């Protein structure tokens, strides 16, 4: 009888232990991210500020932040294998490089608005200074970065004083921003020129019901210092990017180092025709007309002979770029949209130079010198959110899903408004020296770009520049007709330098 009672006690103990045992499958998987650079673009070996491909992290797992609690911050650091030359916008520290979370205003989330940290409704007035924002969770990880101004927990910031919960509108910890501005260097060494960091970024683990995407964009690299591989080397030099994340949240990153660009020779030049044995006072200018005719009158004399002819050739298809997508749109710039080709071709009639349009769709490839940019109307030369006559943003040919979100343009106290904006399109320069006294060298006001077809694939305009070939767009020819521009000539500048800016080009041909 005693043995039976002991057996009953043993069963009771087993039952009690079983009641305190949690099933293994109920444990949340750890927060983990996988780095990906997509298809790295080819960038120009001659360039110092080349846009490399975006780096993305696809994150899953972890325990989402409970409702009403502050999302824990992390520090994000990237380094690249050459000098990082993204434009500095404020105090020699704040950069155009951006960190974007969960793909707002994109094909993935077309109705999700963009809201940058430091903008109205997402203040960065906390103890950590500029570009550090706090987010108070709603308990739903899908809403953490939904771009809601003054979002707080499940409601909005509407309190009457700083001690209230929620606090008044535009108080620190209000809003759910999804764009963060980078700063040069590491947190300790701001002069580390191959690094960019983002401090205090709220990182909410997505859990198992959703995923999280972190995109690093507007990274420019000094490709010139890398150069191109030598003869006999079948591999291109590459730009490597490495990312690390540290903070209160435990996080592992798979494949943290990625190739974000390959370096190729982008410009081939040659002297196609010249005559260095000319006689003084014998005019050597050719038929200075677009069709290579018999000549035109210059200073009362008819031109004859065979002039020098210089050739510039792209090293790869999209080596030459216009400044902004507005340059090629058929409603604003110089392009003609062919729906069957899903892109624009040069219309061969105009030489427009319109105001910029916003290139504000993460992941869209615009094939221009500008990167991700979203300045407000009236900022620099920015235009409206969309091309007024375009059916969608991004324009047809750049994406398959139109975005519909109405967003606040990028704005804060460290000039994030200017992020991604290029000064100019690609420029080609020629230097002519040893011009005899009394001689006049004439150069065309515009040059057709040709790709071997019967059509012209773009146009380059002769521009006035500073001694380095830089400066805002200032064409020598100020009319609107491409044909007239190509058929018009101007004396070479006293410096002997002629600079042409690409204002339209086909990215899919040489």
Residues 14-24 pLDDT 10s: 444 344 444 44
* Peptide linkage before 394 cis (omega within 30 of 0): yes
Q: How many angstroms from the chain centroid is the CA of residue 251?
A: 27
Indicate if the pLDDT at residue 58 is higher than 80.
Answer: yes
Which domain does 105 fall in, by range? 26-264
Residue 343's pLDDT is 81
- Shared domain for 223 and 273, answered yes or no, is no
| Model confidence, pTM | 0.88
Residue that is last in its domain, among 264, 279, 299 = 264
Structure confidence by residue, pLDDT tens digits, 223-248: 999 988 765 556 689 999 999 999 87
Residue 224's pLDDT is 93
Number of domains in the chain: 2
Q: 373 with 359: CB under 8 angstroms?
A: yes
- Shared domain for 134 and 42, answered yes or no, is yes
- Shared domain for 275 and 164, answered yes or no, is no
Please report whether residue 358 resides in a domain: no
- Shared domain for 241 and 129, answered yes or no, is yes
- Shared domain for 206 and 276, answered yes or no, is no
- Shared domain for 256 and 189, answered yes or no, is yes
- Shared domain for 186 and 290, answered yes or no, is no
Q: Read off the pLDDT band of 275 (50, 70, 90).
A: low
Q: Read off the pLDDT band of 204 (50, 70, 90).
A: very high
What gap in Å lies between CA 375 and CA 385, rounded to an integer?
9
- Shared domain for 79 and 115, answered yes or no, is yes
- Shared domain for 288 and 164, answered yes or no, is no
Indicate if the pLDDT at residue 282 is higher than 80.
Answer: no
Residue 385's pLDDT is 41
Q: Read off the pLDDT band of 143 (50, 70, 90).
A: very high
What mean pLDDT comes out for the span 436-453?
87
What mean pLDDT comes out for the span 54-68?
96
- Shared domain for 192 and 288, answered yes or no, is no
Q: What is the dihedral of CA 450, 454, 455, 460, to 10 degrees?
A: 20
What mean pLDDT comes out for the span 277-285?
61
Nearest 5°: CA angle at 449, between 448 and 452? 120
Instruction: Give the count of beta carbons closer than 10 Å to the beta carbon of residue 449.
Output: 20
Residue that is last in its domain, among 202, 232, 264 = 264
- Shared domain for 305 and 199, answered yes or no, is no
Residue 233's pLDDT is 59
What mean pLDDT comes out for the span 400-426?
90
Please report whether residue 418 resides in a domain: no
The length of the chain, given as a count of residues = 510
Q: Average per-residue pLDDT in the chain? A: 85
Indicate if the pLDDT at residue 288 is higher than 70.
Answer: no
Q: Read off the pLDDT band of 398 (50, 70, 90).
A: confident
- Shared domain for 287 and 215, answered yes or no, is no
Q: Read off the pLDDT band of 157 (50, 70, 90).
A: very high
Residue 309's pLDDT is 81
Please report whether residue 368 resides in a domain: no
Higher pLDDT, 454 or 451: 451
Please report whether residue 405 resides in a domain: no
Please report whether residue 274 resides in a domain: yes
């Amino acid at each position: 009888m005693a043995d039976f009672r002991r057996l009953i006690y043993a069963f009771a103990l087993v039952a009690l232990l079983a009641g305190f045992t949690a099933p293994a499958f109920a444990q949340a998987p750890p927060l983990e991210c996988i780095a990906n650079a997509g298809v790295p673009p080819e960038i120009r070996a001659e360039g110092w500020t080349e846009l490399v491909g975006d780096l993305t992290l696809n994150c899953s797992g972890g325990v989402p932040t409970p409702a009403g609690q502050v999302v824990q911050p992390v520090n994000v650091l990237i380094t690249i294998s050459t000098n990082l030359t993204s434009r500095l916008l404020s105090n020699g520290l704040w950069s155009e490089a951006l960190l974007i979370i969960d793909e707002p205003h994109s094909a993935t989330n077309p109705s999700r608005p963009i809201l940058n940290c430091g903008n109205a409704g997402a203040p960065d007035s906390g103890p950590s200074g500029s570009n550090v924002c706090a987010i108070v969770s709603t308990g739903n990880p899908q809403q953490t970065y939904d771009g809601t101004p003054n979002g707080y927990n499940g409601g909005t910031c509407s309190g009457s004083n700083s001690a209230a919960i929620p606090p008044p509108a535009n108080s620190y910890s209000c809003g759910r921003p999804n764009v963060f501005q980078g700063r040069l260097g590491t947190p300790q060494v701001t002069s580390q020129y191959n690094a960019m960091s983002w401090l205090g970024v709220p990182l909410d683990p997505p859990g198992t019901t959703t995923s999280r995407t972190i995109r690093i964009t507007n990274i420019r690299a000094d490709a010139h210092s890398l150069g191109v591989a030598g003869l006999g080397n079948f591999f291109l030099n590459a730009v490597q990017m490495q990312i690390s994340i540290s903070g209160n949240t435990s996080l592992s990153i798979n494949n943290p180092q990625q190739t974000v660009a390959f370096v190729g020779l982008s410009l081939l030049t040659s002297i196609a025709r010249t005559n260095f044995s000319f006689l003084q006072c014998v005019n050597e200018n050719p038929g200075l007309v677009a069709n290579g005719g018999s000549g035109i009158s210059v200073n009362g004399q008819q031109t004859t002979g065979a002039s020098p002819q210089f050739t510039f050739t792209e090293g790869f298809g999209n080596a030459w770029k216009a400044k902004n997508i507005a340059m090629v749109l058929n409603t604003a710039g110089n392009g003609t949209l062919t729906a069957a080709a899903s892109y624009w071709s040069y219309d061969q009639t105009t030489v427009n130079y319109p105001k910029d349009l916003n290139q504000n769709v993460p992941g869209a490839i615009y094939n221009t010198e500008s990167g991700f940019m979203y300045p407000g109307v009236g900022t620099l030369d920015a235009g409206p959110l969309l091309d007024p006559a375009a059916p969608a943003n991004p324009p047809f040919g750049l994406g398959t899903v139109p975005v519909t979100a109405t967003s606040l343009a990028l704005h804060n106290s460290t000039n994030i408004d200017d992020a991604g904006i290029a000064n100019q399109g690609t420029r080609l320069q020629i230097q002519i020296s040893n011009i005899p006294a009394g001689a006049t060298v004439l150069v065309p006001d515009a040059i057709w770009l040709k790709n071997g077809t019967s059509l012209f694939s773009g146009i380059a305009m002769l521009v006035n520049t500073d001694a380095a070939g830089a400066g805002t767009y200032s064409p020598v020819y100020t009319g609107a007709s491409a044909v007239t521009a190509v058929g018009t000539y101007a004396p070479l500048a006293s410096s002997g330098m002629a600079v042409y800016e690409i204002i339209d080009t086909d990215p899919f041909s040489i």
